[in-house]
A = this chain, B = another copy of it.
Amino acid sequence: MEQELSVVGKRLPRPDGVAKVTGAAKFAADIKLPEMLIGKVLRSPYAHAKIVKIDTSKARKLPGVEAVITPEDVPKKSFNRSPLGITHPPSRRARDIRDEYVLTDKARYIGDAVAAVAAVNEMIAEEALELIEVEYEKLAAMLDTTQAMKPDAARIHDFAKGNIASHIPYAFATGDVESGFKAADHVIEETFSTSKQKNCQLEPDAAVASFEANGKLTIWSSCQNSHLARASIAEIFDLPLGKVRYINATVGGGFGGRCSFNNELVCIALAKKAGKPVKVSYSREEDFVTHEGRAVYPVYALKLGVKKDGTITALQSKIISDAGAYYSQSGGTGAVTLMSIYRVYKCPNKSGELDIIYTNTPHSGGMRGYGDPEAMFCLEQVIDMAAEKIGMDPLQFRLKNHLQAGDPAPILPIESCALDQCIKAGAERIGWKEKKNAKKEGIKRRGVGMSIVVHGSGTHPALLEHSNAFIRLNQDGSANLFVSPCEMGQGILGALAQIAAETLGLSYEDIHVTAGDTDLCPFDTGSHASRSTYIVGNAVVRAAAQVKQKLLERGAKNLGVSASELDIKEGQIYVKAAPEKRVSVAETVTDATYNFERCCEFFSENATFDPDKAALSFQACFVEIEVNTETGEVTVLKIVIAHDIGRAINPMNVEGQLEGGATQALGWALYEDFAVSKVTGKTITDSFATYKIPATLDMPEIEIILVEEPVPSGPFGAKGVGEPGHSSPAAAIANAVYDAVGIRIKDLPITPEKILNALKTKRNR
């Protein structure tokens, strides 16, 4: 039976909205502390070079300079810049390679941090940088994976033979792929490559660090994982956890790159040295070079066996990932991309492997989808090829093959799956039947394409998913909700407030949310992997239910009935059988607080949630595009995303997430390509002038269809939705290009040059 909901499911404005649109929101760059210094970082001009000597004497003498630090002054402990590593169970520590220092004594890419200064203002800090004299011993630069994997390649990290940082086999391999391929009627074997995409969050990285007289550190920045950041910082700087307070200032976008430290650590090292608060704000150029982005997969080889009837017999992968100079989240994204390949379709024989290679280029890391869009770009083209091979509509092929609720799934059982509904609804909206079979002719040719995807809500059982919510009632009947996801624009705080309000029987306005401060908010692993609504949401439901129970008990005493006879709605505790018998939550809490009969009570409850599921969400994406066969230009005319959300806590936010994801996907498919010079390793695309992301005018109509089939394990049936909007469009566009003009672009981005070349090749064939 459908629950009757008052707050969940409503299109409500977000609590952080007014501050953001009025400019009142304070980002880390806006923080000003008394005596605060400005920090700047000296970066290597060489892609690969040993630092022989650093002379900071001139810089130190410059009036206004209060600290100069070199590799000598930073913790001797190596670390992985992603605090997510800290949640790995010990057995999986292989993924958590610790290969960085706050400042390096060996530059591994152009932009690597070598020294830093803190001065009373920015000008002096910059002048001081110029006064630092560094003697480098240049080493051969390995600028791509081919070069780096050669037997005589220069070693970037001592431990990494052949510059292989790690080798990751697909963890849930089954059957025997060789016999699978033998049993197949057709084997499709294709090699793709995907490009490096930058997160391009609106807010460039900024951090402020301040030590109190008692040694307590407070650090403000935009990390997506406040409690893990705190734990990591404590470990790196050898501070007791209780002496580290991590605070999220307003976060201007994350998209996964803020699951890693950016300028936090150098900021802390400077503040420690200077004995004063320090702010480090990166320019957009610095951000492009140093803020991690989506990994490059220069080789993404898939091999699929299929029978004439459309049964998939085997699926194999062999992937090379370019980590750049440091490991960061490459292990995590690698594991996810492998997992993504195998969780969409039924297939008895599966295996795969991935090598992560160091190069002397800016490091890769986490970005929305985290390996999933890459997997789909390749897999969903192979699926279309297989369908074509056996003469089956690719839509039918997918309906036949995708995993359903109840099917044996690679990792966890599938609780619910509305993918059939998504595929059918999306196909109808795009006009699949007519358009798929329409004749393609003329200079501008239209085509349709589709792709599907399966995405988890959180990472269970791969990473720790421990989450908490803490609720405290005020005497006016409002509630303070303390949680620790990262509000980075996705609207999570509003969604959690809706969940709390619905559970408590209060109005949305009565929930005051506090997040992102480790001294205030309980432990949670933060915002990544589309987890927060599902996992933190469940913790909120539990905490709210506990508080509600206490309210009912107190109300029962006041109304002279038993708690089970009561419920709460719109801030009123009422007798279910006689709703006019009621007492407000405000009166009840006031009475409990200001009670002179010595039965004071304080409504304050914490709840832990630790999932045993990952509530898979399902999505079908359809696009219609037009290829100009003379210019090679691809215009996307329409994107339809039909998404099985379980329950849309706030449909407006869910649509926003899917639209935002689709926009980034369109940029990745057609325009974006982070480029470094093949000669020097210098970043070429270090601004929005050279690195093009889609603007409003580039965007087609996007239609979002929300399919709500509540998942039993979700809060009010909700699943996560942060990432999958990004996972489907690139593959669907590539398939549509094929539909329009019969060519397959297998390496991203799908540029006019590649289209024209392919058309030429095709004509010449």
Write the residues of chain A forming the contact surface with B, with a CB cutoff of 8 angstroms. Answer: 15, 18-19, 22, 24-26, 30, 32, 34, 86-87, 89, 212-214, 216, 231, 234, 240-243, 461, 464, 466, 468, 470, 472, 474-476, 478-480, 510, 512, 514, 519-520, 522-523, 593-596, 598-602, 604, 606, 608, 610, 612
Contact = CB atoms under 8 A, between A and B. Distances in A.
A-B complex: 4 closest residue pairs judged by Cβ atoms = A242-B478, A24-B213, A466-B600, A19-B213
Contacts of A30: 34
Nearest to A539: B602
A675 to B, nearest CB: 39
B32 A464 contact: no
A246 to B, nearest CB: 12
A589 to B, nearest CB: 10
Given A466-B595, A466-B600, A470-B604, 13 more contacts: A22-B213, A24-B213, A32-B32, A87-B594, A216-B512, A242-B474, A242-B478, A464-B596, A514-B519, A523-B602, A595-B610, A598-B610, A600-B608
20 contacts: A15-B214, A18-B213, A22-B213, A24-B212, A30-B34, A32-B34, A231-B475, A234-B476, A241-B474, A242-B510, A242-B512, A461-B596, A464-B595, A468-B604, A523-B602, A595-B610, A600-B608, A601-B608, A602-B608, A604-B606
A601 to B, nearest CB: 6
Contacts of A612: 598
Contacts of A15: 214
B522 A520 contact: no
Contacts of A34: 26, 30, 32
Copies per assembly: 2
Nearest to A466: B600
Contacts of A466: 593-595, 600, 602
A464 to B, nearest CB: 6
A480 B242 contact: yes
Contacts of A212: 19, 24
A242 B520 contact: no
B474 A602 contact: no
A19 B241 CA distance: 20
Given A32-B32, A522-B472, A594 B464 contact: yes
B32 A243 contact: no
Nearest to A612: B598
A730 B124 CA distance: 61
B476 A242 contact: yes
Nearest to A475: B241
A485 B212 CA distance: 21
Contact of A523 (B18, B216, B523, B593): B593
A540 B608 CA distance: 23
A347 B50 CA distance: 90
A321 to B, nearest CB: 25
Contacts of A87: 594
Nearest to A25: B213
A522 B606 CA distance: 13
A33 to B, nearest CB: 8
